[in-house]
Amino acid sequence: MRNITLSQAVNEALAEEMRRDETVFIIGEDVAEAGTPFKILSGLVEEFGTDRVIDTPIAEPGFMGMAVGAAMTGSRPVVDLMFGDFIFLIMDQLCNQAAKTHYMSGGKLNVPLVVRTNLGATRRSAAQHSQSLQALVAHIPGLKVALPSSAYEAKGLLKTAIRDNNPVVIFEDKLMYQDKAEVPEEEYLIPFGEANIKREGSDITLIATSSMVQVAEKAAEMLAAEGISAEVIDPRTIVPLDEKTLIESVKKTSRAIVIDEGHQSYGVTSEIASRLNENAFYHLDAPVLRMGAMDVPVPFSPALEDITVPTPEAVVENARKLCSGEMIHAA
């Protein structure tokens, strides 16, 4: 094992898959010499050339459409979408074309492409570069959605995504690119639809996605000091979702909080909470609580931005209330 950053893990995953399969290529804005604004792809164009690391104009609908066509005809494109907020620009190509082609062709055509993009606030990037839009694409049948929570998860999930015959959208938290984790030197894949129990507990289940996994783990440590045992689970993928692991945990603990950085209304937290209520209702000692971002455009002001997303302290406060039997009314 060695400690590497999430950025390095993504770079390694792409390089390994491009060496393994010559049909894999990267397309997007500033992906070649610039290595993207976050420098994640640095060095790839030197190894693979501009035929496989393809810089494009600022025309997201155009290069996404090219990628869909390439995927339908034998390639495995990785579309680098500079910010997750730009997903609105490719919704037709992604949701009407890529997601539906397999079904509309009677299974004769596949669209094995990956959209690599990011999510997350608290980077002072303002309302149009700070959104967490994973719920939008998770709503569309035919798309798979992965949310890595560490360098280890990012590498294993990305390699699985590239080999999948379906379109996959993978969201990386832009604040985590320099976070380090232990990553094996040998090859590994992380299967989709298998949640990871990060910490076992008996009093309450904290289900968290992406960087909210770190928030949940910090909250669990704080709760342990108060004598409350919290189980922390990272779903890894929200489509497909490992319902079995989540439900079994909630049946054991009888309480749950679902934490996601997307807006709370009509989001990932709502979907997971609903499934828990439907499948573990008679095991619950309290309603499943949702914690998402405030339903406001992400502010540029640091003081305001920092209070729009869940924090460990807020998770601890809500967990304490749930475990004590105090009623909580969702905002």
> Which amino acids are annotated catalytic?
60, 129
Are β-strands 114-119 and 144-146 bridged in parallel, bridged antiparallel, or unpaired? unpaired
- d(CA 112, CA 86) in angstroms, rounded, equals 21
Record the tokens describing residue 241, joined without a space.
Answer: 């979702």
C-beta of residue 141 within 8 angstroms of C-beta of residue 99: yes
C-beta of residue 169 within 8 angstroms of C-beta of residue 238: no
